[in-house]
């Protein structure tokens, strides 16, 4: 498959034209025209780029690409090194940020729910990025934290009483702790007991406690492996490409 064909296919699949994003979605750094092996991952770090080169990849498809609004664009230091490695190995870099959070099947939030067995009831927040739904059966906050630990491979930071009853929850992967304000409005209508995201800010516990909802910070990286993983499996199953997910562990 040609690199531009893959870009068109991913743009259509992930409906990237529908999003206003902080980073360009699609082909960010052009490499060789012919693509056979595509590696997916969370972030275009040097470690992931090096791993993709080692695997003989023609395309690296990530959730967190190279270019971000407001960032110093100069190619010096580690930024030069990442681009130098991509270009030296003729490796294409594709990035899909919000489209890969929000996709109703392959996205981080949909796949997080699938991995945990949560029933999706609806969406909330800007560009409908957040999801909300129900556990198969109500449980205590400590049990939910234990299940998340199993699924994500790391314990969440849980704010709330261990024995707090959780039935309905809202979630949004990555750095979506600020959406807690939207969750409060949603909770007033739907009875949300807990909100889950990747990161946490200083004010998040105060807001959660004062509004009697639990908050679980599950890790930005840990909560955003699902989408890239699902995308690799989709490419493997639905195209002639070799699709493989590589995890470069990140505790943040």
Q: Which residue lies nearer to Zn ion by CB, 125 or 174?
A: 174
CB 126 within 8 Å of CB 98: no
Between β-strands 119-124 and 130-140, what pairing exists: parallel, antiparallel or unpaired?
antiparallel
Q: Which residue lies nearer to Zn ion by CB, 3 or 82?
A: 82
Q: Is 34 exposed, middle or buried (0-12, 13-18, 19+ CB in 10 A)?
A: exposed
Whole-number minimum distance, CB 65 to Zn ion, in Å?
11
Q: Which residue lies nearer to Zn ion by CB, 174 or 243?
A: 174
Residue nearest to Zn ion (CB): 174
Question: Per rule CB under 5 A, is residue 65 in the interface with Zn ion?
Answer: no
Q: How many residues bind Zn ion (CB under 5 A)?
A: 2
CB 142 within 8 Å of CB 163: yes
Stretch touching Zn ion by CB under 5 A, among 43-51, 108-116, 142-150, 218-226: 218-226
Q: Which residues in 16-149 belong to E strands, given as ranges?
A: 26-29, 37-43, 59-64, 92-95, 119-124, 130-140
Contact flags string 165-194 toward Zn ion, x per CB under 5 A? ---------x--------------------
Whole-number minimum distance, CB 224 to Zn ion, in Å?
5
Whole-number minimum distance, CB 108 to Zn ion, in Å?
8
Neighbours of 193 (CB within 10 A): 22
Q: Which residue lies nearer to Zn ion by CB, 193 or 224?
A: 224
Q: Which residue lies nearer to Zn ion by CB, 42 or 192?
A: 42
**Dihedral in degrees, nearest 10, Cα atoms 32, 249, 173, 4:** 0
Whole-number minimum distance, CB 154 to Zn ion, in Å?
16
Q: Of 220-249, which residues contact Zn ion (CB under 5 A)?
A: 224
Q: Which residue lies nearer to Zn ion by CB, 168 or 225?
A: 225
SS3 (DSSP) at 225: coil
Closest-CA residue to 51 (of 241, 248, 204): 248
Whole-number minimum distance, CB 81 to Zn ion, in Å?
22
Whole-number minimum distance, CB 222 to Zn ion, in Å?
11
Helix (H) and strand (E) counts in the chain: 10, 11
Question: Applying CB under 5 A, which residues contact Zn ion?
Answer: 174, 224
């Amino acid at each position: 498959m040609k690199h531009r064909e893959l870009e068109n296919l991913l743009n259509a699949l992930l409906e990237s034209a529908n999003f206003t994003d902080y980073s360009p979605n699609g082909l960010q750094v052009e490499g060789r025209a012919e693509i056979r092996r595509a590696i997916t991952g969370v972030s275009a770090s040097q470690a992931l780029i090096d791993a993709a080169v080692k695997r003989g990849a023609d395309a690296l498809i990530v959730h967190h690409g190279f270019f971000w609004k407001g960032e110093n664009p100069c190619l010096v230091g580690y930024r030069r090194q990442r681009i130098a490695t991509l270009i030296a190995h003729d490796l294409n870099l594709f990035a899909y940020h919000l489209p890969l959070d929000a996709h109703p099947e392959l996205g981080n939030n949909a796949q997080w729910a699938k991995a945990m067995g949560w029933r999706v009831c609806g969406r909330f927040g800007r560009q409908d990025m957040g999801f909300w739904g129900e556990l198969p059966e109500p449980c205590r906050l400590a049990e939910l934290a234990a299940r998340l630990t199993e699924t994500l491979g790391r314990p969440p930071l849980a704010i709330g009483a261990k024995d707090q009853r959780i039935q309905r929850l809202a979630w949004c992967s990555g750095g979506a702790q600020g959406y807690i304000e939207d969750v409060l409005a949603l909770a007033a209508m739907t009875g949300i007991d807990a909100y889950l995201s990747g990161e946490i800010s200083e004010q998040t516990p105060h807001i959660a406690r004062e509004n009697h909802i639990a908050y679980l910070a599950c890790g930005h990286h840990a909560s955003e492996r699902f989408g890239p993983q699902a995308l690799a499996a989709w490419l493997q199953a639905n195209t002639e490409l070799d699709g493989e997910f590589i995890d470069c562990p990140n505790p943040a």
